[in-house]
Amino acid sequence: MKQEFELIAKTFMGLEPVLAKELTQLGANNVQIGRRMVSFTGDKELMYRANFQLHTAIRILKPISHFKAKSADDVYNEVKKIDWTKYISLDNTFSVDSVVFSEEFRHSKFVSYKVKDAIVDLFRETTGKRPNISVTNPDLRLNMHIAEDLCTLSLDSSGESLHRRGYRQESVEAPLNEVLAAGMILMTGWQGETDFIDPMCGSGTLPIEAALIARNMAPGLFRKEFAFEKWADFDKDLFDSIYNDDSQEREFNHKIYGYDIDIKAVNTARLNVKAAGLTGDIVINEADFKTFTMPAEKSIMVTNPPYGERISTPDLLGTYKMIGERLKHQFVNNDAWILSYREECFDQIGLKPSVKIPLFNGSLECEFRKYQIFDGKLKDFRGDGGIVKTEEEKKQMAERKFKKEREFKKRNDNNYENSSNNEDNDIRSFKFHHRDLDSILNRDRKRTGGEREKKNFDRERNETGRDRKRSNRPNRDWNGKDRDRDVKSRGGHERFDRSGKKFDKGKRDLGRKSKKYDDED
């Protein structure tokens, strides 16, 4: 019988119920929702799968000790009681990351030093030697969490935050975090049944995450490594079987469209889409939301417009008014989901949302709102059998209560997390492009020597063709060792080896590491 043990999946505030649902579908037991985390039990295979397959987890921890401590000496003594020879040898390196919420322990780095000292001193006393510390690339990553006097020491099985999928080649200023983007899409309930549109796509995060969800592809496909691969009990054959298992992937017979007014963002998004091997599913084009027209196919829209929080956005309220006007007249009989921060921005949309979900975007308490666009009055829509809120959406709103007297004010970053290096804070710095639309249009008119031709969304969609047949996509085969596989079942998408390079015919080189990915933000 396989041995089950305690595990913790960390996530962002507001995504806990989505992550819990993912874990339940993955086969986890004893799933319990906490604050920015979900605890569960499972075996080694489930731990591997959680790292590889979950869309909304940022880290998977394996607790090895729970204890109470009222002082730094208590922490030192308790850590020293652990048999560390089961986890680390003198030839290995390790690092310690700490998160503290306590009156007694106010500095996370000080706690990390005490844990490190306890481990090093134990080895010195028993062997006369000590293992070394490596901050950048340790063999073993430890995580210490302290809430008042309750301490949990865990092995970090993920390594780099799981939001760093591995497909992002370049970025724009303030890119949307991959985990947050995936969580937003999963909240809508969309699984690839219709076309998907993001009219302000930036670097393409929402379209790429939508494609992964539509095809039920594991986000970990693009990762070069996970921390558990360096553990002494790592089961390579087991993880290879998980990596090579594409039996749950599915066909996607619709299209995903991403648009942006900034050509630099468009080029970046195209590069990232190509890196993910999803050019057959995703179309990225330069276009202004002002010219958005009714899509030919049934569609869902999910987007994250600028908030004007860090960098002033010209006519921010006018932008949201334009969004509402486009939705009302050019998106009838479809659903639109918008993530934003300011109440006055939502007011300018001028449409009544059917769903409002509080969701943290970094330290900003935002709202994720659903707009069900229909022709005529709400009473007539309901009379014709239209459903404003599904049972799942009612449950979502009940699970995520708003604060009373909510003012959409910026959260105190110091209280949000004691350490700025923790992954709960690493979504982004939230800087937005300063885009003067009039100056951009005037500049382009001068370049062309006349009136700039407006982008027509329908024309761009038609130019890509509506042929959804998978047989037209080329299949790539390769033969090699380790994680060799036939790509045909993946629809011909180009894949990357664990070093971040494209697969050509031949072998996967799992040993090399790409500096580009090591330096990735």
CA distance linking residue 374 with residue 329, whole number of Å: 10
Average pLDDT for 136-150: 94
- 379: pLDDT strictly greater than 80: no
The DSSP 8-state label assigned to residue 496 in this structure reads: B
Percent of the chain with pLDDT over 70: 71
pLDDT for the residue numbered 501? 42
Q: What is the pLDDT of residue 400?
A: 55
Q: Is the pLDDT of residue 497 over 70?
A: no
| pTM reported for the whole predicted model | 0.76
Cα–Cα distance between 219 and 486 in angstroms, integer? 19
Q: What is the mean pLDDT of the chain?
A: 79
Residue 51, pLDDT score? 98
Tell me the pLDDT band of 239, cut-offs 50, 70 and 90. Answer: very high
Checking if the pLDDT of 89 tops 60, the result is yes
Q: Is the pLDDT of residue 158 over 60?
A: yes
Q: Do residues 424 and 413 lie in contact, with contact meaning Cβ atoms separated by under 8 Å? A: no
> What's the pLDDT at 496?
45
Extended beta strands in 237-298, E state: 256-260, 282-286
* 383-416 per-position pLDDT tens digit: 555 555 566 656 655 655 544 444 444 433 433 3
459 or 218, greater pLDDT: 218
Range in 230-244, 254-268, 350-364 the model is least confident about: 350-364
Report the distance separating Cα 318 and Cα 314, nearest Å.
Answer: 9
For residue 160, CA distances in Å to 7, 59, 157, 517, 521 come to: 17, 8, 9, 10, 11
- The percent of residues in the chain predicted with pLDDT above 90, rounded, is 64
Q: How confident is the model at residue 453 (pLDDT cuts 50, 70, 90)?
A: very low
Read off φ and ψ for residue 339, nearest 5 degrees.
-100, 125
- pLDDT tens for residues 275-294? 999 999 999 999 999 999 99
Instruction: Look at residue 195 and tell me whether its pLDDT is greater than 60.
Output: yes
- Between strands 334-340 and 364-373, the pairing is antiparallel
Pick the range with the lowest mean pLDDT from 140-149, 188-197, 474-483.
Answer: 474-483
Q: Which of 128-132, 151-155, 428-432 has the lowest mean pLDDT?
A: 428-432
Distances (CA, A) of 385 to 90, 125, 129, 377, 382: 69, 75, 74, 13, 5
**Residue 321 predicted with pLDDT over 50:** yes
Q: For residue 15, is pLDDT > 80?
A: yes
Q: Is the pLDDT of residue 459 over 60?
A: no
CA distance 416 to 363: 7
* Per-residue confidence (pLDDT) for residue 367, from 0 to 100: 94
Tokens standing for residue 515:
């500096």
Of 485, 486, 513, 488, residue with least CA distance to 499: 513
| Mean pLDDT score, 77-102 | 94
User: Which of 134, 115, 294 shows the shortest CA–CA distance to 199?
Assistant: 294
Residue type, position 456, single letter: N
The 10s digit of each residue's pLDDT in 333-374 is 999 999 998 899 999 999 999 999 999 988 889 999 999 997
